[in-house]
Amino acid sequence: MFKHAIVRLPCEALINGLTEAKLGKPDYSKALLQHDDYVSALKECGLNVTVLKALDEFPDSCFVEDVALMTPHCAVLTRPGAPSRRGEVEHIADVVKIFYDRVEHIIAPGQVEAGDIMMVGDHYYIGLSSRTNREGANQLISILEKYGMSGSMVEMAEMLHLKTGLGYLENNVLLACGEFISKSEFQNYNIIKINEKQSYSANSVWINDIVLVPSGFPETAKAIGDAGYRVREVDVSEFRKLDGGLSCLSLRF
Ligand code: CIR
């Protein structure tokens, strides 16, 4: 069960965030409204939500998931592969230290963005993407092992982050799309396959037995509902324009 979430308000520079989506620029006012509803959804899941102020110098800073990994035993401040995002880390550090005594760091030449990390109990899958490199993953695995946890690397080729195409819903249930459906390391999970058209919704998020699902993906919402979960839809269309999904917008711990 999670108790807390940390989010950061989108800044006006959001419209200049990194993207390969080709869906146009986000509408800032709409993004603020959607963010507000996202916070409401987190609260509905029973979380205490810390809302950080917007950081105008970092367009992608509302995607807080990438800059820290919060485990039950320690927090890890990452070193994002995107150079324009590295400065976000020091801004999250202060709030992370409020919640954690043990704070670890990924250091150069390691690169990790925590959108590439999927937690399954005490084990952490780490996607090797354009943002997370082997050196960073090795550092992270050493940190996890120091605290009695474990990690393993997942080769990937198609997606921005590991959780762009994977979502763990607890109870051995895994949402997967594209290249992840057939990967050997995931074959022992009960996989809910997400087709290409619905691929954005593979990034749905389990929080205390409620699953946040992006609006506009009825097949995914139905499949998750049929698997026995309560579904809460959240419209994040403006964040999708920046390749951001539901998980990216919060740290949950
Ligand atoms: C980026 O490219 O870094 C942002 N525009 C989107 C980050 C999305 N984060 C995530 O998937 N964890």
CA nearest ligand 1 atom 6, residue: 244
- Best probe residue, ligand 1, of 66, 79, 129 (max atoms within 8 Å of C-beta): 66
Give the separation between CA 165 and CA 154, rounded to whole angstroms: 12
pLDDT at 43: 98
Residue 104 pLDDT level (bands cut at 50, 70, 90): very high
The whole-number average pLDDT for the span 228-232 is 97
Domain 4-252: which topology?
L-arginine/glycine Amidinotransferase; Chain A (3.75.10)
What pLDDT, on a 0 to 100 scale, did the predictor assign at position 130? 96
Q: Residue range 117-139: average pLDDT? A: 98
For 172, left (φ over 0), alpha (ψ -120 to 50), or beta?
A: left
Average pLDDT over residues 146-152: 98
Q: What is the pLDDT of residue 201?
A: 97
Position 196 scores a pLDDT of 92
End-to-end CA distance of the chain: 8
Pairing of strands 103-105, 75-77: parallel
The CA distance from 13 to 20, in Å, is 17
Q: What is the distance in A from the centroid of ligand 1 to the CA of 74?
A: 23
pLDDT digits (tens, 9 = 90+) for 58-91: 999 999 999 999 999 999 999 999 999 999 999 9
The reported pLDDT for the residue numbered 33 is 98
Contact 67, 233 (CB under 8 A): no
Cβ pair 194, 186 in contact under 8 A = no
Measured in Å, residue 5 CA sits from the centre of ligand 1 at 18
Question: What pLDDT shows up at residue 172?
Answer: 98
Please report the pLDDT score of residue 239 as a whole number. 98
Please list, in sequence order, all residues whose beta carbon lies within 8 angstroms of the beta carbon of residue 208, skipping any fewer than 6 positions away: 1, 2, 45, 46, 47
Nearest CA to ligand 1 atom 1: 18
Which atom of ligand 1 is nearest the CA belonging to 66? 12
Nearest atom, ligand 1, residue 160 CA: 11
| Catalytic residue ranges | 161, 248
Q: Are 110 and 135 in contact (CB under 8 A)?
A: yes
**Domain regions of the chain by residue span:** 4-252
CB under 6 Å to ligand 1: residues?
17-19, 60, 63, 65-66, 82, 85, 115, 160-161, 164, 242-245, 248
Q: What is the 3-state secondary structure (H, E, C) of the chain?
A: CCCEEEEECCCHHHHHCCCCCCCCCCCHHHHHHHHHHHHHHHHHCCCEEEEECCCCCCCCCCCHHHHEEECCCCEEECECCCHHHCCHHHHHHHHHHHHCCCEEECCCCCCECHHHEEEECCEEEEEECCCCCHHHHHHHHHHHHHCCCEEEEEECCCCCCHHHCEEECCCCEEEEEHHHCCCHHHCCCEEEEECHHHHHHHCCEEECCEEEEECCCHHHHHHHHHCCCEEEEECCHHHHCCCCCCHHHCEEC
Testing ligand 1's pocket by substitution, the residue of 130, 199, 243 carrying the most ligand atoms inside 8 A of its CB is 243
pLDDT digits (tens, 9 = 90+) for 158-204: 999 999 999 999 999 999 999 999 999 999 999 999 999 999 999 99
Phi then psi for residue 156, to 5 deg, are -150, 155
Question: What residues are paired with 195 via a beta bridge?
Answer: none
φ and ψ of 235, to 5 deg: -85, 115
Question: Considering the chain, what percentage of its residues have pLDDT values greater than 90?
Answer: 99
